[in-house]
Amino acid sequence: MTTSAKTLSTVRLDPDLLDKLAIFHQICLALAASVALVILAAWLSSPFGRILPNGWTLMKFNTAACILLGAIGLLFSQERRTARQRTISRVLAVVVAVVALATFVEYVFHLSFGLDTMLVADSTSPDPGRMSPQSAACFTLLAAVILTMRVTKQPAARIADLLVFMLGVLLLVMASGYVFGALHLYGLTPLTLSSPHTITAISLLGFVAFNRRAEYGIFGIMLEAGFGSTFARMALPPALLLPLLLELARAGAIKAQWLSPAYATAIATSWATVVGIGVILILAWRIDGLQREISELSLRDELTQVYNRRGFYLMAEQALRLSRRSSTPFSLLFVDVDDLKQINDSLGHETGSACLREIADLLMKSFRHTDVIGRVGGDEFIVAGECGEDFIRQSAQKLELAIVLINSAPDRQYSLRVSYGHASTEGHEAPTLDALIDIADQAMYQSKRQKKMAAQYMRE
């Protein structure tokens, strides 16, 4: 991937999500490092080790050391770190890879390089101090991911994505093996296996590594702000947990002899179908809600939060069709803000914007929540809804009284003044929305002319 392609792929990432993940990453790394430090202290201090619960020795000294080095390596791999810190990150990744690969060689060739017991003795295992091969495989992949974290050029970028994917699969296999007692999926013997705290700590590191790599690779779809990314993030937890939980329930029912294997399998399959449909419905509901929110944003005027011109025409056309279907009157009020240009020129555009927001607020308070209110021009608003002429006149009078009340407030920098006209289908053949707007617009201009003539007469 070229530099320009990389830029195109990263600008879509959701910055708010990345900020939240950055905090969560710090927590994950801190937890993994804390587990490693406790185990390291226990190996170095026998009195401290004796107060820990049984089973802590399943995490060997070099395993804990690799977890600690991996956590520091991931911490220093962040983009905002200095070049020196990123170099330290790569060096630590190489150290982790050397220890893990040495473990493989020891298992394959039945050798011992002395790395396993270099700092501490370990007499509790047939292979003193040696981590399980599954743990070694995880550390090898983790080190490779850290080393290729920011690779963007092809085909190296796809190899880096494959490495982080393989790490995730291996961690899932190990966790499933531990939960269901499949020994050889997470160790060789009861004395040479990946302990639950090892699996947990490496999983925390794997989660951070996956998200960090996703900022540069194909898994970036999980970090974007679009519908597909949102859907993927919502679907991922059920996809990961549902099979595990159902299989646990099935195995538990069989072990407790509540059900025969055939019945347990049939019921688990049925529940998988029911839960899967439920998850799909929940996701569909959520996605539909997100789509409505985005649609609302595209139809709203940013300044006043009423509908913009496009939103008004869309919603008002629907309301007009409904009124025709139910044979109810449909009316609209065309409102023009008087002297907005003078307010902008004398007091500034911020004051003019405040004036428009005040008018929009008054319209929303003066009319029903079911009425469609839109800003269709710089200083023009329209209110439309299923109502008769009497209602639209009363609402207009209510708006006038509200304006008088606001203008009477002390220390007002400007006075709100509006001109308006209304139109209705009541008693007439239902015209088009544009025809109604033209009628109301002409009535508004007639009102504005009358006010100007009256003001001129008063001056004379």
- The tens digit of pLDDT for each residue in 16-43 reads 888 899 999 999 999 999 999 999 999 9
**Residue 155: partners with Cβ closer than 8 Å, 6 or more residues away:** none
* pLDDT tens-digit map of 70-128: 999 999 988 778 889 999 999 999 999 999 999 989 888 887 777 777 778 776 666 77
pLDDT tens digits for range 292-349: 776 666 788 888 889 999 889 988 988 888 888 778 889 999 999 888 888 888 888 8
pLDDT digit string, tens, across residues 330-345: 999 999 988 888 888 8
Tell me how long the chain is.
460
The alpha carbon of residue 319 and the mean position of all alpha carbons in its chain are separated, in whole angstroms, by 34
| Nearest partner of 433 among 276, 279, 271, 320, judged by Cα | 320
In whole angstroms, what is the distance from residue 282 CA to residue 288 CA? 10
Which residues, 6 or more positions from 349, have their beta carbon under 8 angstroms from its beta carbon? none
- Partners of 424 in beta bridges: 331
- pLDDT at residue 163 in the model: 95
44 vs 382: CA distance, rounded Å: 78
Q: Is the dihedral of CA 236, 240, 243, 246 positive or negative?
A: negative
Q: Distance between CA atoms of 209 and 332, rounded to whole angstroms?
A: 58
348, amino acid identity: G
Q: Which residues contact 64 (CB under 8 A, 6 or more apart)?
A: 35, 36, 37, 39, 40, 43
What is the side-by-side strand order in the sheet with 372-375?
372-375, 380-385, 331-337, 418-424
Give percent of the chain with pLDDT exceeding 70: 90
Cα 311 to Cα 296, 423, 437, distances in angstroms: 8, 20, 15
Q: Cα angle at 156 between 63 and 85, to 5 degrees? A: 50
Q: What is the pTM of this model?
A: 0.63
